[in-house]
Amino acid sequence: MPNLLPLEAALARVAAVEPVCRQTESVPVERALGRVLAAAVTAPRDIPRFDNSAVDGFAIGSDAKEGSRFEVVGTASAGTPFAGGLDTGKAVRIATGAELPRGTVTVVMQEDCTPSGDTVTVGTVSQAGAHCRRAGQDVTAGATVLSPDRRLSAPDLSMLTALGLAHSTVRRTLRVGLASTGSELIEPGCELQAGQIHDSNRPLLKALLQFYPVEIVDLGVLVDDADTTRTSLLETAGRVDVIVTTGGV
């Protein structure tokens, strides 16, 4: 049928429409899932924030060679760093995520070590810098981590909280008006009369829109009357961003 608008052309027209909502708001990060980011997010600090251990083991203050023995001078756990520094021949028992003591050359996994009293013997040779996660290794301060117009996912919210951000600036929620048209349509649950059918389009569209950050304004069923339809659509246009209709005569 030559006069019908092809689907591809219709989609192209929709894609070419300017954004209908440029207003923004700040929302708590835990409520930002699915919202559209309004501004770029830059990292206020490094991630990791400090050099830390990637494994449970021993932080060594000099090159570790197979069979080398080191004096254990303390411990470092996540949230409780070792207060001092490491000199040659010294070691600190360290947990995964703990800040590396000053002077750490390498970390040796505990499975490759044999502790005995106040000493530890290295069984497997580790290269300098092994198992050391450096500050800024994942994200450096000032780097753009999320770009505008991105629909925020669960990993994005994790990134925002890792950066210490409690709120996110997002686009205002779109208001979408939904209307079915047709004098033959009635709501589910009502008894059908001659020539009538239940309206199944609006429930479908409502369900599909649940996956997006929108506010639905339900216009119900519009009967096949030009004046009634025009009045309803014009009244609704002033309080919604988009109107979606189905059917039509």
pLDDT, tens only, 139-193: 999 999 999 999 999 999 999 999 999 999 999 999 999 999 999 988 888 888 8
Share of the chain above pLDDT 70, in %: 98
Q: Residue 9: inside a domain, yes or no?
A: no
Q: Residue 201: inside a domain, yes or no?
A: yes
Asked if 237 contacts 243 with a C-beta cutoff of 8 angstroms, the reply is yes
Q: Residue 7: inside a domain, yes or no?
A: no
**CATH code at position 56:** 2.170.190.11
Query: Nearest 5°: CA angle at 7, between 4 and 10?
Result: 85
Q: CA 63 → CA 56, 110, 119, 196, distances in Å? A: 18, 16, 16, 85
Beta bridge partners of 36: 151
| Residue 200 CB contacts under 8 Å (≥ 6 apart), including other chains | 188
End position of a domain, from candidates 151, 171, 191? 171
Flag whether pLDDT at 79 surpasses 90.
yes
pTM of the complete model: 0.74
Backbone Cα Rg of the chain: 31
Same domain, yes or no, for 180 and 238?
yes
Number of domains the chain contains: 3
Q: Residue 32: inside a domain, yes or no?
A: yes
- 232: containing domain: 173-246
Q: Residue 21: inside a domain, yes or no?
A: no
Residue 196: which of 209, 182, 184, 204 has the closest Cα? 184
DSSP letter (8 states) at residue 221: E
Supply the pLDDT for residue 63.
81
Q: How far apart are CA 137 and CA 139, in angstroms?
A: 6
For residue 232 the two structure tokens come to: 């309803």
Same domain, yes or no, for 91 and 103?
yes
Same domain, yes or no, for 89 and 143?
no
